[in-house]
Structure 1
């Protein structure tokens, strides 16, 4: 379907994602594609990058294409210790396959430590690179739970993400 000007009609699709992993000694801490100095890293089947995992789920949700586990099942050994950048690139490819445009992506990391602010610019740059968009479309920030719950006890890190994607109406249904 096109507008009277001949341009395709676009619909806005919004998605949200959430992920959490436990902290474990002996693993690197990778958040939003960036290795962050810390005495512990996140445990998981892949590299356990909660920021990228939440963002992938937000994209897949906006496109009504399930979640990261549907595309990269943890039951498959080929994804063991996988670099989550591969998952992010796949999510970007799914946007492109639908003729879509990522309007913005917003990631919130939830942890007491490490402090995220010093690393946020590198995280934003890395996500923008993986998604093929300008850094102005990406936000990465952090909050704490005021020492409440598992993140407050420094047992794990959580992330939530939201995206807005424009998709041509004739591709909106997949």
Structure 2
């Protein structure tokens, strides 16, 4: 199970699931702050007992500054492969008030599946709001949750 959250700010691009989405605000982070990919990576790393995303890709390291999260996901998949694991499936949820995420879900699933090397049917992405409550509802940030199944080869 993985979870991530990032603050929404002006002057940054909004990247979710490996794609850029047009919006007036973007997510703040050391990398491109793709909250969905970060939650997925944490789920995968945890399932393989490989610690967490911060351990492998620290937000204090110069080589991870502004890193494309697709690179982080690719490296995570390689770490799993080194332990003899592959992805069985992923189920993830993005929590955001705006922009509407649903129109972008097919492109996200396609992008994620290509990086992971799995069938797009093995990647489920859903979207929800928080009914205008809390930091997500007040559009101060976004959150993402992910669960995964990994298979030992």
TM-score (norm 1): 0.86
RMSD (Å) for aligned C-alpha atoms: 0.8
What is the match of residue 58 of structure 1? 43
- Cα distance between partner residues in 1 of 2:40 and 2:18: 11
What is the match of residue 96 of structure 2? 111
Deviation readout 1:118-140 (Å, 9 max, x if unpaired): 00000000000110101010001
Q: CA deviation at 1:101?
A: 2.5
Deviation readout 1:39-97 (Å, 9 max, x if unpaired): 00000000000000000000000001111010011111111111011110011112221
The gaps in structure 2 that reach 5 residues or longer are none
Larger Rg: 1 or 2? Answer: 1
What is the match of residue 143 of structure 1? 128
The question of 1:28 aligning with 2:13 is answered: yes
What is the match of residue 163 of structure 1? 148
Count of aligned pairs: 153
Moved over 6 A (4+): none
What is the match of residue 95 of structure 1? 80
What is the match of residue 133 of structure 1? 118
- Cα distance between partner residues in 2 of 1:65 and 1:98: 9
- Cα distance between partner residues in 2 of 1:150 and 1:90: 31
| Aligned partner of residue 158 in structure 1, secondary structure | strand
TM-score (norm 2): 0.97
Choose which of 135, 152, 155 in structure 1 pairs with 2:137.
Answer: 152
